[in-house]
């Protein structure tokens, strides 16, 4: 008996019990459909998180001075004056570092004609725009020359531009920071709120040296931010920077670090990890329904074997070998499960599409997840069909024939 004939026999047997076959298939349809939809929702969420982290700059590290203790009073992070521009330049030499942005910050009133606005003044270098991945809306950013000569120029965040200038174009105008007139040379694009809720557009950027000398009167650096070219480099850089700074700051073995390195990649990793867990969770819950569908197949096939014992006996009397009987029942289970698989793929796709359509949730159904769900359905058919099929094939012909 060839495969085609065997398949035909199986199809005919199923056709004789249409309603039952359809209901059995439904279990697999729901199982496969929910696996596909759930995996789609899960990996959609994963993608969205990855995008958000990308925008956040997950390859970044931030270094701040450590705390100082004065007679038992500890100042908290940033209390020390230990970071210098030379430190920043040394870090820039490390392999895998894309850009280094040393900065200082001061809170000041800024004025333009009649209006004033209290904001952060950030003293930065050209690399700041690279590290923060922050393009300009108009004009230009702080240049090396500006830093070298401590020029009286500034770049505005959107919030400051709006508060001081309203709808007017601030380019070329002069604003007054503290008592220092600065020419506006650029405006940054809107960045929105940070992950921690502060308005990132509420800032004015000036050359590092200008803020250091003319607004704060200091020579050290308050913050060094840096970008690694690759996420994979972040953890190595973490160690390298620590070693470099300890060496530069002449710290001996038992002394604590006088700086703190903040790692956004770690946070990114945690978020991604939880998204992955989320996907697996959804997927495994859905797999359970597929499993239940499989048990439905086994149940129906077992009933079918008992019900058709006499038929099996007749077929054996007519010359069916054990393996012919085995194949017939196994194929019936396989036809049920793969039909369920195909329909389930469509239902799953439709479900995923309607989720994207009716909610904000992104859904990404990959060909891989479709293939896995489909193969899993086939496997369910074999696994749960094998036992009833073997039971049928093992029947003794005379007993099967006598069965009432």
Partner 1 sequence: MTAPLLQVQALHKSYVLDGVTIQALRDINLEVEPGEFVTIMGPSGSGKSTLMHILGCLDVPDAGSYRLQDQDVTRLGSDHLAALRNREIGFVFQNFNLLPRTSALENVETPLIYAGVGRVERRQRARAALERMGLGERLYHLPNQLSGGQAQRVAIARALVTRPSLLLADEPTGNVDTATSAEIMNLLNGLNRQDGLTIVLITHEQEVAEHAGRRLFLRDGQLEAHP
The answer to whether residues 71 and 188 touch, using CB atoms and an 8 Å cutoff, is no
- Pairing mode of beta strands 115-124, 203-207: parallel
Q: Is 167 in the site for partner 1 (CB under 8 A)?
A: no
Q: Per CB under 8 A, does 392 bind partner 1? A: no
- Complex with partner 1: residue 154 or 316, whichever CB lies closer: 316
Nearer CB in complex with partner 1: 9/268: 9
Among 113, 144, 148, 321, the residue binding partner 1 under the rule CB under 8 A is: 321
Q: Is 7 in the site for partner 1 (CB under 8 A)?
A: no
Select from 3, 197, 318, 360 the one that contacts partner 1 (CB under 8 A). Answer: 318
Q: Taking CB under 8 A as the rule, does residue 5 contact partner 1?
A: yes
Q: Say whether residue 22 binds partner 1 (CB under 8 A).
A: no
Q: CB-wise, 232 or 398, nearer to partner 1?
A: 398
Query: Counting contacts by CB under 8 A, is residue 324 touching partner 1?
Result: yes
Q: Does 315 bind partner 1 (CB under 8 A)?
A: yes
Nearer to partner 1, 139 or 397 (CB): 397
Stretch that binds partner 1, among 52-60, 196-204, 308-316, 350-358 (CB under 8 A): 308-316
Tokens of 372: 């896995």
292 binds partner 1 (CB under 8 A): no
**Rounded distance between C-alpha atoms, residue 64 and residue 216, angstroms:** 17
Please list every residue from 72 through 111 that binds partner 1, using CB under 8 A. none
Q: What is the tally of helices (H) and strands (E) in the chain? A: 13, 12
191 binds partner 1 (CB under 8 A): no
Give the sign of the dihedral formed by CA 349, CA 354, CA 356, CA 359. negative
Q: What is the rounded distance in angstroms from the CA atom of residue 338 to the CA atom of residue 154? A: 66
Is 311 a binding residue for partner 1 by CB under 8 A? The answer is: yes
For the record, the structure tokens of 324 come out as: 């012919």
Q: Give yes or no for residue 349 binding partner 1 (CB under 8 A).
A: no
Q: Kindly tell me which residue out of 73, 319, 358, 367 binds partner 1, with binding defined by CB under 8 A.
A: 319
- Output 167 or 318, the one with its CB closest to partner 1: 318
Beta strands 203-207; 69-70: pairing state:
unpaired
Is residue 303 part of the contact set for partner 1 (CB under 8 A)? no
Q: Which residues contact 329 (CB under 8 A, 6 or more apart)?
A: 10, 301, 304, 305, 385, 388, 389, 392, 393
Nearest CB to partner 1, comparing residues 64 and 391: 391
Residues recorded for the chain: 404
18 near partner 1, judged by CB under 8 A: no
Closest CA to 177 of 199, 195, 155, 193: 155
Q: Which of 161, 301, 316, 389 binds partner 1 (CB under 8 A)?
A: 316
CB of 19 to partner 1, least distance (A): 13
H/E stretch holding 326: helix 322-358
**Residues 181, 152 contacting (CB under 8 angstroms):** yes
Token pair 């401590």 in the structure block, residue: 150
Q: Is 353 in the site for partner 1 (CB under 8 A)?
A: no
Binding of residue 229 to partner 1 (CB under 8 A):
no
Answer left, alpha or beta for residue 43, where phi above 0 means left and psi between -120 and 50 means alpha.
alpha
Tell me the closest approach of the beta carbon of residue 332 to partner 1, in angstroms: 15
Cβ density class 100-136: b for 16+ within 10 Å, e for less: bbbbbbbebebbbeeeebebbbbbbbbbbbbbbebee
Report the residue number, 173 or 311, with the smaller CB distance to partner 1.
Answer: 311
DSSP state of 93: T
130 forms part of the interface with partner 1 (CB under 8 A): no
| Smallest distance from partner 1 to CB 9, Å | 7
Angstrom distance (rounded) from CA 296 to CA 189: 58
Per CB under 8 A, 401 contacts partner 1: yes
Q: What is the contact surface with partner 1 in residues (CB under 8 A)?
A: 1-2, 5, 9, 12, 16, 310-311, 313-324, 396-398, 401
């Amino acid at each position: 008996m060839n495969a085609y004939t065997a398949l035909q026999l199986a199809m005919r047997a199923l056709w004789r019990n249409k309603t039952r076959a359809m209901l059995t298939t439904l279990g697999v349809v729901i199982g496969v459909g929910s696996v596909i939809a759930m995996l789609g929702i899960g990996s959609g969420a994963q993608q969205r998180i990855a995008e958000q982290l990308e925008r956040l700059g997950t390859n970044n590290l931030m270094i701040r001075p450590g705390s100082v203790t004065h007679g038992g009073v500890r100042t908290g992070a940033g209390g020390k004056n230990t970071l210098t521009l030379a430190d920043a330049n040394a870090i820039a030499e490390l392999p895998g570092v894309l850009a280094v942005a040393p900065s200082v910050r001061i809170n000041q009133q800024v004025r333009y004609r009649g209006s004033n606005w209290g904001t952060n003044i950030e003293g930065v270098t050209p690399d700041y725009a690279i590290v923060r991945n922050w393009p300009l809306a108009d004009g230009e950013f702080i240049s090396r020359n500006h830093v070298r000569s401590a020029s009286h120029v500034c770049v505005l965040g959107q919030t400051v531009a709006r508060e001081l200038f309203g709808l007017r174009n601030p380019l070329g105008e002069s604003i007054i920071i503290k008592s220092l007139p600065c020419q506006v040379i650029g405006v940054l694009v809107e960045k929105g709120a940070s992950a921690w809720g502060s308005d990132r557009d509420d800032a004015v950027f000036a050359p590092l040296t200008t803020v250091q000398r003319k607004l704060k009167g200091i020579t050290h650096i308050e913050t060094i931010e840096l970008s690694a070219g690759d996420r994979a480099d972040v953890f190595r850089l973490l160690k390298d920077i620590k070693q470099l700074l300890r060496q530069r700051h002449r710290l001996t073995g038992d002394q604590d670090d006088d700086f703190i390195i903040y790692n956004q990649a770690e946070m990114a990793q945690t978020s991604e990890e939880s998204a992955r867990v989320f996907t697996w969770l959804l997927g495994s819950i859905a797999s359970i329904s597929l499993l239940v569908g499989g048990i439905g197949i086994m149940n129906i096939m077992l009933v079918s074997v008992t019900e058709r014992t006499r038929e099996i006996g007749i077929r054996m009397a007519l010359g069916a070998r054990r393996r012919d009987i085995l194949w017939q029942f196994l194929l019936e289970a396989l036809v049920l499960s793969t039909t369920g698989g195909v329909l389930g793929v469509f239902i799953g796709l439709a479900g995923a599409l309607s989720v994207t359509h009716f909610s904000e949730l992104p859904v990404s159904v990959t060909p891989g997840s479709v293939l896995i769900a489909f193969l899993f359905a086939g496997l369910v058919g074999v696994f749960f069909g094998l036992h009833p099929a073997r039971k049928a094939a093992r029947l003794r012909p005379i007993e099967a024939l006598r069965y009432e």
